[in-house]
Structures are given as structure tokens and as C-alpha cells.
């Protein structure tokens, strides 16, 4: 069965996506529209060019640049509505969207008003059959004080659908121990813990995210492939890796972890993780910036050697890893298994 055949099957499955940055979903045309709204003239082609950064620092610069055009609640509502329409068109029925809340705070924006606009967009998305929950993210390079402030806001807005607190940005900028107080605050407020680790950092960064921060899901985590003992631990402990293959290629993370000769999706450790029994949630990370979507990522998984039943099991893992009450999780799983049975994938 070809990758195209797999893509056609996956398109018919109800899906969950767990590692998706709202700000990384801004299409070039929308970025140009936002720029005009705020007095700048930029073409979609120029935006697309900025998105094609050669390495991780370049990616961070492009992310910082495009978020500079998000200034008002209506800007956030626009990109959320567009993202939710694209997800629904792929039959994504559940999504956890990461918001760069610390960026809003650093720019002295009205976070409460911005989030109110996003929560309203999430409510509208229900008519498309899509349920959305939120993860508030702090940029590691902004320091521990900003992490604490972001965690406080996440706790404050938990009643409106914020389910987790996480850290992203420059993974090498700050020791995990300095983020522990913010994670403790979030956990005391009932929020779940996630963390980017092992994307460009070493395997030890993954251990620290689990042991010091209490992360139950790891964003990327591809460095685990360098440490067999760590992979065994992740599998036995049931820690989910949020895997984003196209992102790992486009940011240079693959080449950084495994050498320049690994700057190819064919060298991605996804299949190795799957074969070793690790829990994996396939995701897009920043789909507009990396010119991908969730169905395309599953087609890449097929290209990396997973067959149709394995792809179905991979898709099911995302529902297991979702930050949902158990009855809700089981409801999604029942719907998913019914569809896989109809498609002959069980």
C-alpha cells in the first residue's frame, strides 16, 4: 500500500492532534493580511520565504517575526477560525492547541481579551465537529519569572478550557530546575504538565523534563533515539512523545541530533519508537510554517515503514494521550474503533 493510499485511508478516520502551535498555523496569505491590518505591506511569497529557515535559530526568528502581527483579539480570532476550519476538513475531531502565552505577556498584550476571542472561536468550532482544549506555553529563554506569570494565567483561565502548562522556545536556554516552581504552581491548580525536550537538546533534557518538571508528554523527544535505556523507560512508564517529522526536518533538528547525513525524513526515528513500544502522538507542530498537515504526516509515517494497521494504531495513540476525562476519551476511542473496523483496519 502506497503513502497515497494510506493518506486516503487516514483522511476517513476521526483524528486527534496534540502538538500544534496556534501561531505556527498562520498561512502566508493570512500573515500578509494581518501585516496590512497593522500598516505593513508584505506579500504571501515573502512570508513563505521567511518561513523556510535553514536551522532552529532561524525558525525561532521566523516565529518571533510572524507573531509580531498578532496584536489584538480579532487577530487571534482570525487565525483560530482558519485553523479550526482546516482541522475539521481533515476530520480532526479533537485538538489541543498550544498558545504562546508568554509572548503575549512579554508584549504587554491583554491576554484575557485575546484568550476570550480564542475561547469563542473554539466554541464556534463545535459546529464543525471539532473539540478544542488549550495549552499555555512559556518560552524557556524568557526566564523563570515569566514562566511563573504564564502558569498563573493558565491556572486563572483553566475554567475556560486551558488544560496544561508547558515550555517551548530555546530548549538550551535555561536549566529545567529553574522552571520547577512554575510547574508546581500549575500542577497545584489542577493543570497537566507537558514540555518540549530532546528536540535539539540531549537525551538528558528528556529525563529532566520528566523527573524535575513532571512532564507526562514530551514535545518532540527525538533525542531519545540516542539512548536505548531512555527509550525503555519511556515505553515502560507510558510517557508520550509528540512526534512531528516534517518539523524535525525543517528546523534542522534531525541533522543536529543525528548528523548532517540525517537531514532526510528517511532517517527519522518514528518507526524505531513505534517498534520499541513507545507511545507516540503524531502531530504537525507549526503546519503553515512547515507546509504540512496531519494527513500528510501520516503519509510520511507510511513512507517510514508503517503499514496500514500500524498507522491505525498510531492514530489511536493520540486519543489515549489526550488530556481528557476518561469517559470522553473512551467515547472518542469507540468512535475511532468503529471507523477502523468499517475500513478493515482492525
Name the residues annotated as catalytic.
199
Contacts of 39 (CB under 8 A, 6+ apart): none
Half-sphere exposure for 212 (CA within 13 Å, toward CB) = 17
Report the alpha-carbon distance of residue 99 to residue 20 in Å, rounded: 9
8 A C-beta contact, residue 185 and residue 148? yes
Which triple of cell numbers denotes residue 215?
Answer: 512532564
Q: Is 38 helix (H, G, I), strand (E, B) or coil?
A: coil
Contacts of 153 (CB under 8 A, 6+ apart): 101, 105, 111, 136
Question: Which residue's entry shows cell 529553574?
Answer: 178
8 A C-beta contact, residue 282 and residue 243? yes
8 A C-beta contact, residue 274 and residue 306? yes
Report the alpha-carbon distance of residue 321 to residue 249 in Å, rounded: 24
Amino acid at each position: 500500500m502506497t503513502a497515497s493510499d494510506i493518506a486516503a485511508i487516514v483522511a476517513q478516520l476521526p483524528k486527534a492532534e496534540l502538538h500544534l502551535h496556534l501561531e505556527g498555523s498562520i498561512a502566508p496569505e493570512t500573515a500578509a493580511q494581518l501585516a496590512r491590518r497593522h500598516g505593513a505591506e508584505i506579500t504571501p511569497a515573502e512570508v513563505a520565504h521567511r518561513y523556510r529557515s535553514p536551522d532552529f535559530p532561524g525558525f525561532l526568528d521566523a516565529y518571533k517575526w510572524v507573531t509580531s502581527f498578532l496584536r489584538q483579539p480579532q487577530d487571534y480570532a482570525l487565525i483560530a477560525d482558519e485553523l479550526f476550519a482546516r482541522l475539521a476538513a481533515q476530520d480532526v475531531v479533537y485538538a489541543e492547541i498550544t498558545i504562546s502565552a508568554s509572548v503575549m505577556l512579554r508584549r504587554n498584550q491583554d491576554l484575557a481579551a485575546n484568550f476570550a476571542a480564542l475561547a469563542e472561536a473554539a466554541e464556534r468550532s463545535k459546529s464543525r465537529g471539532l473539540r478544542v482544549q488549550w495549552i499555555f506555553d512559556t518560552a524557556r529563554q524568557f526566564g523563570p519569572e515569566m514562566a511563573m506569570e504564564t502558569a498563573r494565567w493558565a491556572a486563572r483561565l483553566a475554567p475556560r478550557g486551558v488544560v496544561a502548562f508547558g515550555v517551548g522556545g530555546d530548549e538550551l536556554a535555561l536549566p529545567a530546575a529553574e522552571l520547577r516552581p512554575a510547574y508546581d504552581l500549575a500542577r497545584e491548580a489542577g493543570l497537566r504538565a507537558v514540555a518540549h525536550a530532546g528536540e535539539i537538546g540531549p537525551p538528558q533534557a528528556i529525563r529532566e523534563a520528566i523527573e524535575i518538571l513532571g512532564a507526562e508528554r514530551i514535545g518532540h523527544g527525538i533525542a531519545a533515539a540516542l539512548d536505548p535505556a531512555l527509550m525503555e523507560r519511556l515505553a515502560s512508564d507510558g510517557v508520550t512523545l509528540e512526534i512531528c517529522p516534517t518539523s524535525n526536518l525543517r528546523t534542522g533538528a534531525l541533522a543536529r541530533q543525528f548528523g548532517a547525513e540525517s537531514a532526510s525524513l528517511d532517517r527519522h526515528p518514528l518507526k524505531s519508537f513505534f517498534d520499541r513500544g513507545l507511545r507516540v502522538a503524531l502531530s504537525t507542530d507549526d503546519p503553515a510554517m512547515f507546509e504540512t498537515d496531519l494527513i500528510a504526516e501520516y503519509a510520511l509515517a507510511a513512507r517510514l515503514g508503517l503499514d496500514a494497521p500500524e498507522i491505525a494504531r498510531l492514530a489511536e495513540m493520540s486519543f489515549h494521550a489526550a488530556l481528557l476525562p476518561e469517559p470522553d476519551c473512551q467515547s472518542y476511542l469507540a468512535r475511532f474503533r468503529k471507523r477502523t473496523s468499517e475500513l478493515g483496519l482492525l
